[in-house]
Chain A
Amino acid sequence: MTTRRPAPSSLRSLGDGLTGSPALVAEGVGLTYAGGIEALRNVDLTVADGQFVSIVGPSGCGKSTFLKAVAGLIPITHGTLTLRGDSDRRADVAFVFQSPTLLTWRTVLGNVELPNELRGGGRSTARSHARELLALVGLADFADRFPSELSGGMQMRVSLARALMTDPRIMLLDEPFGALDDLTRQRLNEDLHRIWLRDRWTGLFVTHNVSEAVYLSDRVVVMSSRPGQIVADVPIELSIPRTPDHRSDPGFAAYVREIGARLREEV
C-alpha cells in the first residue's frame, strides 16, 4: 500500500484532469439488495487522491448505500469498485455516520481510542494520538466526560476524531451534520475543512445541504432518484482554503443555485 503524500494545492487535480492513481474508481457499479430493491445502477465515479467530493441527491436514492459499498460493508452486485488500487476496501477507510454512534458507557477518550483497540494497535501511542485528535476537534477538555454530557455537535466532533484515529486516507461521511442546527453545522464545516486541509485525505461526503456541499468540496455530484446514478458532476472552482467569507461570494451563490436547480429536477 502506498502512502503517497498529498499534492500541493496548486497541482491538485479537478474533475477529469486526474494525476497519479485515483483514490476511488467506480465503474458501472450496481447494487440490488437481497429483497430485490435496486439501489444503485451504473454508477461511474472517479475521485482523485486528496479530493473532496460531495454527493447530493433525493432521499432514498442510494447515497448511503453507495458509501457503504465503498467501505466494503455491502457487496456490490455489478461493476467494479477500486480503492487506491487496493482490493481490500476496508483498509485505510474511515466512516462517519449520520448519528454520532458513540458507546455511551465509554468516556470520550475511550471512544476515540476504539478503532485502535479493535485493530490491536499499541496502547500508549494511541492515547496521546487520541488526545491530539480531541484537541484538533476542540474537545481537549472533554476527554474524560461521557458522551451523554456532550451536546449533539460535540458528539459529532468526537465521532470525527474517532474516524481520524487510524489516519485514514479515505473518509466517508454520511450526512454527519444533518441533525445539527445551521450555526453548529457551519462551525463544523469550517473545522472539517481545516482538518481536510491538514491531512488531505480523500473525502466522500453525503449531504442534503447544497451550500454545505459547495463550501467543502472540490466537486459536487448529483445522484438521480432510485436506482441512483450520477447525473451531474460540478467542479467547484472557488479558491482554497475556503473561509466563511466564501458564503457571501457571488460565485458561491451561483454554484448553490445551479446545483440546487439540478437537484430539484431529480426530486
Chain B
Amino acid sequence: MVRQVEPRSDADPVARRLRDLGFVDGEPVRVLGQGPFGGDPLLVQVGYTRFALRRAEASRVIVEALA
C-alpha cells in the first residue's frame, strides 16, 4: 500500500505526475514484473492501471507492506 510520494526537489514534476496517476496515501500497489535487463523498469499496478516505472521513479514512492 502506498504511504506517500517523496519529491526529489521542491518542484519535482515526476512526483507530481505520480500523485496524479494515483500513487497516493492508502492506495494499494503491486509490482508485477521487471524488465529483462537489470530488473528495470518495473511493472507496477496501481488502481486498475499498469504502469512502467523506472526504478529511479519508483523509488520516490514510499510503500508499506500489507500482510
The answer on A and B forming one complex is: no
Chain A residues in the interface with B (C-beta under 8 A):
none
Chain B residues in the interface with A (C-beta under 8 A):
none
